[in-house]
Chain A
Amino acid sequence: MTDGTAATRITYREAMKQAIREALQSDPRTFLMGEDVGKYGGCFAVSKGLLAEFGEERIRDTPLSESGFVGAGIGAAMGGMRPIVEIMTVNFSLLAADQIVNNAATLCHMSGGQFSVPVVIRMATGAGRQLAAQHSHSLEAWYAQVPGLRVVVPATIDDARGMLKPALECPDPVLIFEPASLYNMEGELTEAARHAEISGARVQRAGRDVTLITYGASLWRCVTAAEELAAAGIDAEVIDLRSLRPLDDAAILGSVRRTRRVLIVDEGWRSGGIAAEVAMRIVEQGFYDLDAPIARVCTEEVPLPYPKHLEDAALPNPARIVAAVKRMFGNAG
C-alpha cells in the first residue's frame, strides 16, 4: 500500500482518492472520467489534485452528458481500457440508465460471452444534507436487481480504500456507491484494506440477541443503535452487506441462525428494496430459525423533504432502529 503504515487515520474521501491514485499509477489503462473531476477537483473533492498529478488524458472532465460519457466509458472498457467513470450522484445516473442497463449489463450476455465490459462506475448516494427530493435518492436497489451488474457499497475506511482495486480487476461492470454523508468520516485504515473483495458481507459487531443487517451510511446508524441496545441488555450483531449484488447469503443466514431475530436497515424506500430482498432470502433459507417476524427500518415512503426535522424523520436513524429492535422483544428489552 502506498499510504505508509498500517494504522493511519484518514477520511473516507482521502481513502477513495488514494485508491484512485494507486489505480492510475499501477495501470496505464486506467483513467478517471466524469463531470468536474479535473479542474474542479471533484464535486466531493475526491479527485482534488489528481489533474495536476496525472494530466488531462487520465483525468478527463466531461460535458454534462451522462448517457454520452457513461456509454463512452463502456465502449472504452470494451476497447481495452479500464475507465473509472464518475457520475456525480446516483440522482443523475438515471440519465445514463439506458447505457448501464441496456449496454453494460447485457453486452457480455448478448454477445454470447465474446465481449466483457470491465468498467467501474462510481457515484455518490444517499440523503441527509437537506438537498431535497431530486438530490437525495438511494437507488442502489434498482441496479442491484439487474443481472450482469455488480453493485458494492463501501461503508468503511478500509473498504473505501480497498474496493476499487478488485473492482477494476473484475471483468464485469462494477457500480460503486459512495454514501455522500460518509466522505468526511474519519477512521483507521488497516491492513484489511489490502485484502478487500467486492463480494462478501462483514460482521461489524458480533452479538447474540438480534442481527442488524445493513449497508452504507446506515451501518454507522446501526452501530450507534447497537450501543444503545447494549445498555438496555440487548446484544446486537451488526452485519455490513458491502456487496448488494451479489448478496452474501451465507453470512446473512449464519447470523440469523445464531440470533434468531433480524432487523434490516435500508436507506432505500421500503417498497421492493434491498430489505425486501434480504428478508425474502431469510424466509426461503432460514424460516425455521426465526423466533420473531423479520423487521425492517427503511426510508419513509416520501420524496425526501427539505426541512431538517422532516428529512431526519424520513431517514433511518438510531432511535427508529432501537425502537424496532425493542418491539421485536415485546418491549421486554
Chain B
Amino acid sequence: MRVEYRMPALGADMESGTVVQWHVQPGSRVKRGDVVGVVETDKGAIDVEIFEDGVVAELLVQPGTKVPVGTPLAMIEVEGSSRAPSLPVEGGAAGSAPSPAPAGEGRGEGSAPSPAPAGEGWGEGSAPSPASAREREPAGRVRAPDSSARVRVSPAARIRAKALGVDVGSLRGTGPDGAITREDVERAAKGAPSPQPSPARAGEGAEPSPQPSPAKAGEGERKTMRDAIAASMSRSKREIPHYYLSLAADVTPAVDWLAKHNAAVPVTERLIFAALLVKAVALACQHEKGFSGFFRDGRYEEARAVHVGVAVAIRGGGLIAPAILDTATKPLPQLMQEFRDIVARARAGRLRASELAAPTIILTSLGDTPVESVFPIIQPPQVAIVGAGAVMPRPWVVDGQLSVRQLCTLSLGADHRVTDGRLGAQFLVRIARLVSAPESPEWRVD
C-alpha cells in the first residue's frame, strides 16, 4: 500500500523547506533510517531520512521547490503493514479550551489564613514614634467598607457632568459594574437619551459629532427613550414638590402683530406664536429669579444665562427639548430662525449635545392641538416648566364689554423648594404681559 513521505518539521521555527536533492528515484528501495534527500532550511542543508521500508513509487516535489512543512514529497510503496508516521495530533488543548481559572497567589500550604482585621483606631491613641516602633494589630485581610452606597463615576464623566450641569447621583451607569461613563452623562444632559449614544469623542468644549437620525432609530431606541423619559419623569414627580399656576392670557395684540409682521416679510422670515412665547419666557426669567436654574445637591443655583428649551415631539413617539442658547439676547428673527432649525434638526435627530444639555427652563407648547392648558412636569435638575395651550378665540370681557379675544392659557409648574405661588404668579404674569404686547419696551431689554 502507498504512504506519503512528507516534509518533516525539523525545528521549532521551521515553517517550510526546499528540496535541493533527492538521493532516491522511483523504484529505489529504501529502508527505515535511510537518508533520502537533502532539504535546504534557514539553518543550512539538512539530510532527511525516511522511516519506512519500501520502494519509492513517485517523487511529488522536484528539487528547487520550497514547500511548507507537512507537504507530501513522495509516495512510498510499503511492504506489509505500514507504520506510517502518526499524523500530528491537532492541538487539543489549543482549540476548545475554556478560559483558565485565574491564578491565585499564595496557594498551597504557604498561604496565610487571614489575620485579625485592622483596628479601627482612626486617630485613636497616639501615632507611633519610630523610636518605640509601636505597631498596630496585624491587618492582613482588611475588610473593605461597603462601597455600594458610593456612586461609581469615571473621572472623565465627573468632569463632563460638572460642565453640563448633570447630577451624577441621578444617573444609572452603563460602564463596568454599573459605573457612570462620560456617555451616560452626555445622554442624561439631553433630558432624555438620544436614540443612539453620542460618541462625543472630541475634547472638552469641542462640538461632538451629530447624532444619527431618529428616523433610523428602530424599536429598540424608541424603547430606550421611552424608558429614559419614564425614569426622568418618575424621578421628577418623586423628588420635586410641584405647584401649578395657570393664567389665561389675552394675546390678541400679539396675534395681530404677528399677522401684520408676517404679511410684510417673505415666508422664510415669518414668525410663529411659539417664538414669541419662547422669548417672553426668557425675558421673564431675567427679571424673576428662581425659575431658570438647577436644584442639585440640596441647593438651588440660578443659571448664569437663560437657555430656553423647546419641547419637540419626535415622530414615532418621544420628546426632546433642545435649547435655544442665550434666548433673551436674540432678536426675534434670529430666534425664529434658530427655532425652526432646531425643530427640524430635532426631528431629524441631528441635534448637538450642547443644545440638549443646556436648557435652564423648558417651554412646552401644545398649541397645535385643541388642548387648552398643560400641566407639565419639570425636567430635573431644572426648577420650572412653562406650558402653553392653543391660541383660541374665546368670549372675554374687555372694558366691561363682552368681546371675542384670542386667548392662550399659560401654565407654570414650579419647584416649591425654590419658589412659591406668589413668586410663580409674578413670573407667569410677566410672561403673559410680554406675550400680549410684543411691541412693548420690555421686548427691547437685552
Question: Do A and B contact each other directly (Cβ–Cβ < 8 Å)?
Answer: yes
Report chain A residues within 8 Å CB of B136.
202-206
Per a CB cutoff under 8 Å, which of B120, B135, B141, B142 touches A158?
Answer: B135
- Contact between chains at A156 and B140 (CB < 8 Å): no
A165 at the interface (CB under 8 A from B): no
Per a CB cutoff under 8 Å, which of B113, B123, B147, B152 touches A235?
Answer: B123
Name A182-226 residues within 8 Å CB distance of B.
Answer: 185-188, 190, 192, 195, 197-208, 220, 223-224, 226
Interface locus among A49-57, A79-87, A249-257: A249-257
* Given A171-B108, A172-B108, A206-B119, A250:B144 Cβ within 8 A: yes
- Contact between chains at B143 and A254 (CB < 8 Å): yes
- Contact between chains at B127 and A230 (CB < 8 Å): yes
- Contact between chains at B152 and A203 (CB < 8 Å): no
B399 at the interface (CB under 8 A from A): no
- Contact between chains at A239 and B133 (CB < 8 Å): no
CA distance A21 to B114 in the complex (A): 28
- Contact between chains at B138 and A171 (CB < 8 Å): no
* Given A170-B110, A288-B152, A251:B141 Cβ within 8 A: yes
- Contact between chains at A208 and B123 (CB < 8 Å): yes
CA distance A250 to B105 in the complex (A): 12
Name B203-260 residues within 8 Å CB distance of A.
Answer: none
* Given A202-B139, A224-B130, A257:B145 Cβ within 8 A: yes
A166 at the interface (CB under 8 A from B): yes
- Contact between chains at A207 and B122 (CB < 8 Å): yes
What DSSP secondary structure best describes chain B's contact surface? loop
CA distance A223 to B127 in the complex (A): 9
CA distance A248 to B153 in the complex (A): 25
CB distance from A147 to the nearest CB of B (A): 8
CA distance A246 to B144 in the complex (A): 19
Per a CB cutoff under 8 Å, which of B118, B121, B135, B154 touches A156?
Answer: B135
- Contact between chains at B140 and A188 (CB < 8 Å): no
- Contact between chains at B147 and A201 (CB < 8 Å): no
Report chain A residues within 8 Å CB of B91.
none
* Given A245-B105, A251-B141, A206:B115 Cβ within 8 A: no
CB distance from B171 to the nearest CB of A (A): 14
CA distance A207 to B120 in the complex (A): 9
List 4 additional contacts besides A206-B118, A254-B144; criterion CB under 8 Å: A188-B133, A192-B135, A199-B110, A208-B123
- A–B Cβ pairs within 8 angstroms, 22 of them: A185-B133, A187-B132, A187-B133, A188-B132, A192-B135, A199-B111, A201-B139, A202-B138, A203-B119, A204-B135, A204-B136, A206-B119, A206-B120, A206-B121, A223-B130, A227-B127, A248-B140, A250-B140, A257-B144, A258-B145, A287-B154, A288-B153
